[in-house]
Amino acid sequence: MNRYNRDADDYYVNVNLNTEMELPSNRDTVLHFFEQMKKGFPDLRNFQSRENGELILESDKEEDAHRSVAIEPRRLASGCTNPESLADAYRQHELVLDLAPPLLSISLLDCEALDVMFGFDFTYEGNHDEVVAEALGVGNALEGLLESPRSKKVVNFEPSLTLALDEACQLQCRLSIETRTNTYQVRSGEFADDQISLYLTIRQYWGNGPELSFLESFRRQREIGEEMLERSVIPRIVRPLAQVIASR
């Protein structure tokens, strides 16, 4: 088992290469790129062309561990859910970033930003926002609102924080939590069995950004992400969330 999905129901590592210009969509270019991906990962067998213009190659989504590669108008996306190891996910993403420049004509000049995202899903049938507030706290400044006699229930609490990791603010880290409880569910007490999602994204902007290749930047970003997960996100956010959910 991957050490990162011990506390969550699902764990994933995704990479998004965002471009300034639209990506190619002609048949030969797209199919050649996907054929090369399939050679590296034979479980990528299902190809779809969606109405929104997205072209996606994916493995069997019914499997606990699955992967996908998608070409969108201005984004190349690579996703790996519940990988056996981080190395397996990284191998997929590196192949995507290695093939993208020659096969899809994506250059550093065309790149807006490269995202490396680590995500965790926690399935919970109840008030998601209340769970997040209990697990993480709301901070001294807001604690008084929760303690107010007029305060009945937490309806929305989705903390988000973005940090610059360099002086130019070209390298950034964003932590966000997404809940899926709505006001009707809180009012009625009827909740769906849905996911609380936690995302840690390391984003590198280009433009006046680094003189690095996509692969070099990816390796640096994933190292930063792993360090933040180990030092802060896992012990202070992921595990407290898992513990509060397990106690209910």
Q: Record the tokens describing residue 102, joined without a space.
A: 């020659």
d(CA 221, CA 177): 20
**Arithmetic mean of pLDDT over the chain:** 93
Check which CATH number belongs to the domain holding 94 and give it.
3.30.160.110
In degrees and rounded to multiples of 5, residue 176 shows phi and psi of -145, 150
pLDDT over 80 (residue 15): yes
As for how many domains the chain has, the answer is 1
Query: Each residue of 107-162: pLDDT tens digit?
Result: 999 999 999 999 999 999 999 999 999 999 877 777 777 777 787 888 899 999 99
| Cα angle: 108, vertex 115, 5; to 5 degrees | 145
pLDDT over 60 (residue 59): yes
Torsion region of 189: left, alpha or beta (phi above 0 gives left; psi -120 to 50 gives alpha): left
d(CA 219, CA 116): 10
Spatial CB neighbours of 45, under 8 Å, sequence gap ≥ 6: 38, 59, 60
Over range 70-99, report the average pLDDT: 97
Query: Each residue of 60-72: pLDDT tens digit?
Result: 999 999 999 999 9
pLDDT over 90 (residue 6): no
- In three-state secondary structure terms, 103 is helix
Q: Record the tokens describing residue 152, joined without a space.
A: 């009945």
Report pTM: 0.94
Nearest to 80 by CA among 154, 12, 3: 12
Parent domain of 223:
3-246
- What confidence score (pLDDT) does residue 248 get? 87
In degrees and rounded to multiples of 5, residue 235 shows phi and psi of -70, -30
d(CA 24, CA 208): 25
Over range 163-186, report the average pLDDT: 96
pLDDT over 80 (residue 237): yes
| Residue 35 CA to its chain's centroid (Å) | 25
Query: Each residue of 181-235: pLDDT tens digit?
Result: 999 999 999 999 999 999 999 999 987 766 889 999 999 999 999 999 999 999 9
